[in-house]
Amino acid sequence: MTMKVSLIRIPTIIDVSASTAAVCPPIGLAYLKKIVSNFTNEIQVIDSVGNFPKIRTVHDGEFPITLLGQTKEKIASLLSKDTEIILVTCMFSQDWDYAKKILKEIRLKCPKSIIIAGGEHITGLPKYSMESAQEIDICVLGEGEITLQNILQNIQKNGSIDKNLPGICVRDKDGEIIQNITQSRIKDLADSAWPDWEGFPLENYFSEGHGFGVSYGGRTMPILASRGCPYECTFCSNPLMWTTLWNVRDPEDVYNEMKLYVEKYQITNFDFYDLTAIVKKKWIVDFCNLLIKNNLNVIWQLPSGTRSEAIDGEVAPLLKQAGCRNLSYAPESGSPEILKLVKKKMSTKKMLDSMKSCVAEGLSIKVNIMCGFPKETRKHLIESIGFIIQTAWAGCHDMAINQFSPYPGTELFEDLLKANKIKLDENYFKGLSYYSSMSNAQSYSDHLSNRDILIYKTFGSALFYSITLIRRPWRLFQLIRNVYTQNETDRLEKQLISYLGRLGYRYKN
């Protein structure tokens, strides 16, 4: 049986006041495309963000929507009418209300196609997703490659799907939604093929320097060295999406993938999308030594947050020598009590020491802070302010203070849902887009108002950058120069360049 398969990445919904949004190639979908290519060569890719990597406001329903990517009408118009299987990924729950509208358009265009949905939102709320979007035939939960392979084998062999397959949520013959047992994780990542990027609009990302991290004026490619995270933070969906199994690839395998992209796409910068890339000190030392030995001559960074245990005075110089330029640390809070409540097993002192080691080597450091946890008080916020001052004084370059958002699949989400503090409606999903907003907030703490959250985010950010620029005034001149030439080297520059671009300013020829 020859299958015609379409893979769709939906657009991202952002808050209207957000200065920037991550415009990144969809690495998860590229991994799934590799699985699909084992069954058919009739594959259509619709990457709505890559096709239109711009932010704009559309009027759809009662309220206007700030959208990154193509509209639902455009996606449906691009979709091949004779496609038999449609894979739709929904990673972020803030996109769900618009995703439902996209699914309706897809079903109208392809009434007989099998629609398979996956991603973190789907994994967190599989039954709810199928109830609220009747167009979905199957939900794939968690790490998707093995499950998708089993689904396609069923269709190829029998023309139908075994509804008892692990890792899926499906309707039985009576229409009842059944969630099956979970599919085992891939144990050895050597068995996992590299992502298949053929058909994705990569040049749209490369030409504008788009990526999750800082572009350094080059061409950026996403890559994964590991999967999963061994920790169980209560605000993170990792335990449900990936489980606490942390797997890491062989350093040489990662290097070879990087080398291929340098040769094929002229890549100069790599964004590692790992949840927790640096867990084992030996691995990062071996990886750095491999890059140094082979002189690949690329920049790479860890923009999504990392632990500090394995980064010390020995590792930091190796990171710099191997081409690492930018790291994001994720302490989340400076309050010991809050860290304990959210199961963030870390020492602020050890993390500060790690940050100082990296700053001493000239690495650009970003610090991620969250506020508004359910039991957080003003006392806890003041403790975090003290930590923010320490990170600025230590020489960290960037600070992001985001509000806590209860994402489906997290322990705190389940707690708030049981306490009737969350209602799965349009306001909840819209509120998830406020995490970085400086004008909208949604507090889930009994002790903090929405206004408290906004004041804290504004004051904390202003305090951090004031201390940073006063203590190191030359950074102000670097900031002005790099924004003017559009040559970003840290997150603040990236945000300012993006924001000015939205306003229509373009300095660089």
Q: Is the pLDDT of residue 104 over 60?
A: yes
pLDDT in tens, 198-218: 999 999 999 988 899 888 889
* Residue 393: CB atoms within 10 Å: 14
Predicted model pTM? 0.94
Mean pLDDT value across the chain: 92
Q: How large is the average pLDDT for residues 286-296?
A: 95
How many whole angstroms separate alpha carbon 161 and alpha carbon 153?
9
Q: Tell me the two tokens of residue 308.
A: 């500090």
pLDDT band at residue 238, thresholds of 50, 70 and 90? Answer: confident
Higher pLDDT, 265 or 56: 265
Residue 285: per-residue pLDDT? 94
Residue 504: per-residue pLDDT? 66
- Write b or e for each residue in 158-173: b if 16 or more Cβ atoms lie within 10 A of its Cβ, otherwise e: eeebeeebebbbbeee
* Residue 65: CB atoms within 10 Å: 20
Residue 125: per-residue pLDDT? 96
Residue 18: per-residue pLDDT? 64
Q: Is the pLDDT of residue 7 over 70?
A: yes
Q: Is the pLDDT of residue 310 over 60?
A: yes
Report all structural domains of the chain as residue ranges with CATH numbers, in order of start.
4-179 (3.40.50.2300), 211-472 (3.80.30.20), 476-509 (no CATH)
Residue 148 makes CB contacts below 8 A (sequence gap 6+) with: 32, 35, 36, 87, 116, 118, 140
pLDDT in tens, 477-486: 999 999 988 8
Residue 509: per-residue pLDDT? 32
Residues 458, 464, 467, CA angle at the centre, nearest 5°? 130
Rounded to the nearest 5°, which phi and psi values hold at 33? -60, -35
Q: Is the pLDDT of residue 466 over 70?
A: yes
Rounded to the nearest 5°, which phi and psi values hold at 278? -105, 95
Q: Is the pLDDT of residue 1 over 80?
A: no
Do 431 and 407 contact (CB within 8 A), yes or no?
A: no
